[in-house]
Structure 1
Amino acid sequence: MADLITTSNRTLTAKEFQGLADVPPEVEWFANLGNVETRRAYENALKDFMNFTGIQNPEEFRVVSRAHIIAWRDDLLSRSLSSMSIRHRLAALSSLFEYLCEKNTVTHNPVKGVKRPAVESYEGKTPAIGDHQARELLDAPDGSSLKGKRDRAILATLLYHALRRDELCRLKVKDFKQERRGVSHMKISGKGGKTRYVPLHPAASGLIHDYLDTAGHGLEDTGALFRSTSNNRAKGSQKPITPDGVYKLVQKYSEKLGFKIGVHSLRATAATNALDHQADIAKVQEWLGHANIATTRIYDHRKSRPEDSPTFKVSY
C-alpha cells in the first residue's frame, strides 16, 4: 500500500483529478454509453426533453417529476410521432433516471408508471423484397470494376447473413476468415457489444474473395473488410465504407431496378426467406442478434398464408 501511495508517475494532474471527481452523474451517465448509435439516439431524446422543459444544467434533472414526463409525452403525441419513437425517447430518459437512482442522486425514477403508447404492429413496416428481386439486386453492380465487385460482395453479405449496416461497416478482413467445427464463419460485432458467429454462405464467400483479390487487401487481417472507393487506392484503401455509404449503395441499385428500398429491407428479406424455408425461429433470433424473440416474429409471415390456416386442418 505504501508503494502505491508514493507512486510518482501519475497520469492525471491534481486539477484534472478534482475535475473528474466533480463531474455530475448526469454527464457521467452519458459518457458511459458505449454504443455510438445509442449515444446519438439518447442525446436527441434528452435535447428534446430539455428544450421542452427549459432545463439548462444537468443538476436540474433532479427536480423533474412524473408530471413533467407526462406533459412531455403528451407533447410528443401531439407531434404525431410514431408510438415506437415516443417509447424510445421515454426509455432514454428512464435510463438516465435509473442511473441517478443507483448513485442516490434522486429518490425514484419519474418515468416509471408513465403510460406509454401501445406498440404498433411492425409487420409490413420494413418491406421484404421477393426472391427474384433479391437475385436481380445481386446482379445489378458491374462485376468487372473494383467498385462493382465490392458492391456485389456487400449486397451478398447483407442478403445472405441479415447484417445491420453498422455491423457490416465494422467487419474486419479477419472476421470473415473464422472457422468453427471445420465450417467457415463470419464474426459479427453486434449491438450492445455482443459478438455472434454465423456460417459464411458460399455465394457470399466467393464474391468477397473476388473483391479482395482485386482490391489487394486480403492479407490485412486487422483492416476494414469493405472499404471506401471514393479516393485512389493508396489514399482511400484504409477507410471503411460508412453506414451512410451502404444506405446510398442499396438505394441506388434498388431504384434502378424499380423498387427503392433501404438497407434494413435486406435484413428483413433474409429473415423472411429463412423462416419461409422452415428455419427454426429460435435459431433465426440468434442469427439476427435479437435480444427478444418477439422482434424476430415481426419477420415471420407464415401465419398470414391462407394455406397454413387451421381451417384446412379441420377434418370430419
Structure 2
Amino acid sequence: MPSPRSGRARRPDLRALRASLPEPVQAVVAGYERHLGFERGLSTHTVRAYVGDAVSLLGFVVDGGAEVAELDLARLRAWLAAQQSAGASRTTLARRVASARTFTSWALRTGLIPRDPGGRLSAPRAHRPLPGVLRVAQAEDVMQASAAGAAQRDPVALRDRAMVELLYATGIRVSELCGLDVGGADFSRRVVTVLGKGGKERVVPFGVPAAEALTDWIEEGRPKIVAESGGDGTESALFLGVRGKRVDPRTVRRVVHDAVSAVPGAADMGPHGLRHSAATHLLEGGADLRSVQELLGHATLATTQLYTHVTVDRLKAIHDRAHPRA
C-alpha cells in the first residue's frame, strides 16, 4: 500500500505535510518557493502547484530515510510510481514530472544535490482533451443574457456584464482580468494591457460591445460600489467586489457560470471556457495561428495549436451532417 504522504488522496493535506518536514527540508521548500515567486515571477496558482509537488516529493524522500542530497533518479521514479498507484492520471503524472524537473534543476544550481536526475526522468504522454467551447450563436446569447441582467443598471450587474464581455472579447485569463487596473483600458484604441504569466505584459484589443459595457461599469457602476462599500476611491483595480476591493477569481467564475447557464444547451464552463471559445471563434473566422498565440499570451505555438483540433472537429461534424457521402 503506498505511503499516504505520496498518494493522491493526501494532496489537500500538503500544508500539514510541509509542517511535518524536518526544519532543514522546510528551509529548502521555502527557498524554492521564493525562487518561483520572486525570481521567476510565476503566478500564485503555479507556485502553489510546484511547491506542492516539491513537498510531496521531499516528504517521500524523507519517509524513505534519505536526505535531500540523496535525491536521485531511482527515488524520483519510485515517487512517481507511488503517485500512479494512488490513482494519478497520465496528465497529472506528466505535470508532476515537469514539476520535478524544475525542482531538481533548481536544487542543482543551488548546490543541494550533486547532479540533476530530473533530465533523465521520462514523462507519460499526457492526454489533452479538446476544450469545451460555445458556438458563436451561444456566445451571442450569453452576452445578451448578461446585458439583460444589467438593464436595471444595478452596479454589480453592470460589473458582471463588463467582465463577461471583456473575457470573451479578449480571451484573457481570469487572473489577468482580476489584475487589471483602471488605467489598463485604452478606449481610444480599444485595447487593454494585461500582465500575463511570468510577468509578461501584452496588449489585447477588444470590440465595441465590450467597450460599451466597460464604459457603463466605469462611469456608472464602479462609483456606486465604491460609495456603497465606504471606499475612499483609492483602490486602483478595474473590477471590484461588493466590499470595494479587487474582485477575486472565484467571483468571476461564479459570474461566468451563471451567465452561461442561462443559455439552453450551452456547455457548463467558467472563464477559461470563454477563453477557449474566443480562440476557437478567432480561428474559425480566419485568424492565423501566430496572431491568436500572441493574443492569448501562449509561450509556445503548440499550446495554441490545440484549438485547431477543435475547429477541425467541428468541421468534421458539419461534414457528417451535410455531405451526401459522409
TM category (shorter chain) comes to 0.7 to 0.9
Q: Counterpart of 2:120 in 1: which secondary structure?
A: coil
Match of 1:29 among 17, 29, 32: 32
Q: Which residue of 1 aligns with 2:306?
A: 298
Is 1:151 the equivalent of 2:157? Answer: no
Q: Which residue of 2 aligns with 1:46?
A: 54
Residues 174 and 222 in structure 1, CA contact (< 8 A), matched pair in contact too: no
Aligned residues: 274
| Separation in structure 2 between the aligned mates of residue 54 and residue 104 of structure 1, nearest angstrom | 18
Q: Which residue of 2 aligns with 1:77?
A: 84
Q: Which has the higher helix share?
A: 2
Residues 139 and 152 in structure 1, CA contact (< 8 A), matched pair in contact too: no
1:127-150 deviations in Å (ceiling 9; x for gaps): 011112111211223112111111
Gaps of 5+ in 2: 1-25, 38-42, 227-232, 320-326
Q: CA deviation at 1:216?
A: 4.2
Q: Which residue of 2 aligns with 1:226?
A: 239
Gaps of 5+ in 1: 1-22, 230-235, 310-316
Q: Which residue of 2 aligns with 1:140?
A: 145
| Separation in structure 1 between the aligned mates of residue 64 and residue 223 of structure 2, nearest angstrom | 49
Q: Counterpart of 2:83 in 1: which secondary structure?
A: helix
Q: Counterpart of 1:198 in 2: which secondary structure?
A: strand
Match of 1:60 among 55, 67, 80: 67
Residues 271 and 299 in structure 1, CA contact (< 8 A), matched pair in contact too: yes
Is 1:240 the equivalent of 2:246? Answer: yes
Q: CA deviation at 1:285?
A: 0.3
The structure with the largest alpha-carbon Rg is 1
Q: Which residue of 2 aligns with 1:189?
A: 195
Q: Which residue of 2 aligns with 1:255?
A: 261
TM-score, with structure 1 as normaliser: 0.79
Q: Which residue of 2 aligns with 1:281?
A: 289
Q: Counterpart of 1:33 in 2: which secondary structure?
A: helix
Map 1:90-169 → 2, pairs under 5 A: 90-122=97-129, 124=130, 126-141=131-146, 142-143=149-150, 144=152, 145-169=154-178
**Cα 1:95–1:177 shift into 2, 3 Å:** same
| Separation in structure 1 between the aligned mates of residue 170 and residue 81 of structure 2, nearest angstrom | 40
User: What code does the residue aligned with 1:214 have?
Assistant: E
| Separation in structure 2 between the aligned mates of residue 155 and residue 56 of structure 1, nearest angstrom | 49
Q: CA deviation at 1:186?
A: 0.4
Residues 137 and 257 in structure 1, CA contact (< 8 A), matched pair in contact too: yes
Q: Which residue of 2 aligns with 1:200?
A: 206
Q: State which drifts further: 260-269 or 287-296.
A: 260-269
Q: Counterpart of 2:286 in 1: which secondary structure?
A: coil
Q: CA deviation at 1:69?
A: 0.7
**Cα 1:176–1:264 shift into 2, 3 Å:** same
Q: State which drifts further: 207-216 or 161-170.
A: 207-216
| Separation in structure 1 between the aligned mates of residue 45 and residue 115 of structure 2, nearest angstrom | 27
Residues 83 and 118 in structure 1, CA contact (< 8 A), matched pair in contact too: yes
Q: CA deviation at 1:25?
A: 5.4
| Separation in structure 1 between the aligned mates of residue 109 and residue 61 of structure 2, nearest angstrom | 24
| Separation in structure 1 between the aligned mates of residue 57 and residue 219 of structure 2, nearest angstrom | 51
Give percent identity, aligned residues only. 25
TM-score, with structure 2 as normaliser: 0.76
| Separation in structure 2 between the aligned mates of residue 86 and residue 187 of structure 1, nearest angstrom | 35
Q: CA deviation at 1:55?
A: 5.1
Q: Which residue of 1 aligns with 2:7?
A: none
1:91-120 deviations in Å (ceiling 9; x for gaps): 222212211211233221122212211132
Residues 172 and 221 in structure 1, CA contact (< 8 A), matched pair in contact too: no
Q: CA deviation at 1:163?
A: 1.0
| Separation in structure 2 between the aligned mates of residue 240 and residue 68 of structure 1, nearest angstrom | 43
| Separation in structure 2 between the aligned mates of residue 56 and residue 175 of structure 1, nearest angstrom | 51
Residues 228 and 241 in structure 1, CA contact (< 8 A), matched pair in contact too: yes
